[in-house]
Amino acid sequence: MARRLRPSLYISVDIEADGPIPGPYSMLSIGAAVAGRQDADGYAAADPEADTFYRELRPVSDAFVPEALAVSGLDRDRLAVEGGEPAAVMGEFSAWVREVSTGAQPVMCGYPASYDWTFLYWYLMRYTGESPFGHSGCMDMKTLYATKARLPLRAVAKGTMPRELLSRRRHTHHARDDAIEQAELFSNLMAWEGKPSSGAV
């Protein structure tokens, strides 16, 4: 008897940080939005605004890269006073992930996933000791597109994608806004049949 696979619940995550790597630098905000669910019957997109998460965090070090900080427009001095304690924020995030993914396995998705996942996983392990996504439960949208479009990964940018795949929302560098935008992109990519092979008739 074949084992029934648990469905995947895809959660778009976007983080804003003040440098290239976690530890020496800080994650200043985290946004997330449920993108959709996949089971043996296929993928079903969710309303990306229906289930979301957003928090701002206290910096964990004094170091920052001014150019990285300028991207988000967040105020480190304000966050040092008003930002959530990382352990509390990551605990809240983990609880939210587990709640929205009841009955499914949560998978983080990002564009690109590599940067956001690096901060996300480090913060989860450093401040909660575990990750609701496991150690590898992430999917990179750039890789997904490159595979379906039959393009080298380094040739991929949002500007290379067919317009109908892109969200009509603006990329604001507010973590919740961008997580919602990326959730729409992910659902469009999952529904897209991709570029036909050169041998197709």
Which two three-digit tokens encode residue 25?
Answer: 């630098």
State which amino acid sits at residue 17: A
List 135, 171, 173, 174, catalytic entry: 173
169 Rama sector, left if φ>0, alpha if ψ -120 to 50, beta otherwise:
beta
Query: Is 173 a known active-site residue?
Result: yes
- Describe the crossing of helices 175-191 and 141-149 by its angle, rounded to 10 degrees: 30
Question: Count of H helices and E strands in the chain?
Answer: 6, 6
Inter-CA distances, 165 with 87, 110, 175, Å: 36, 15, 20
Residues noted as catalytic: 173
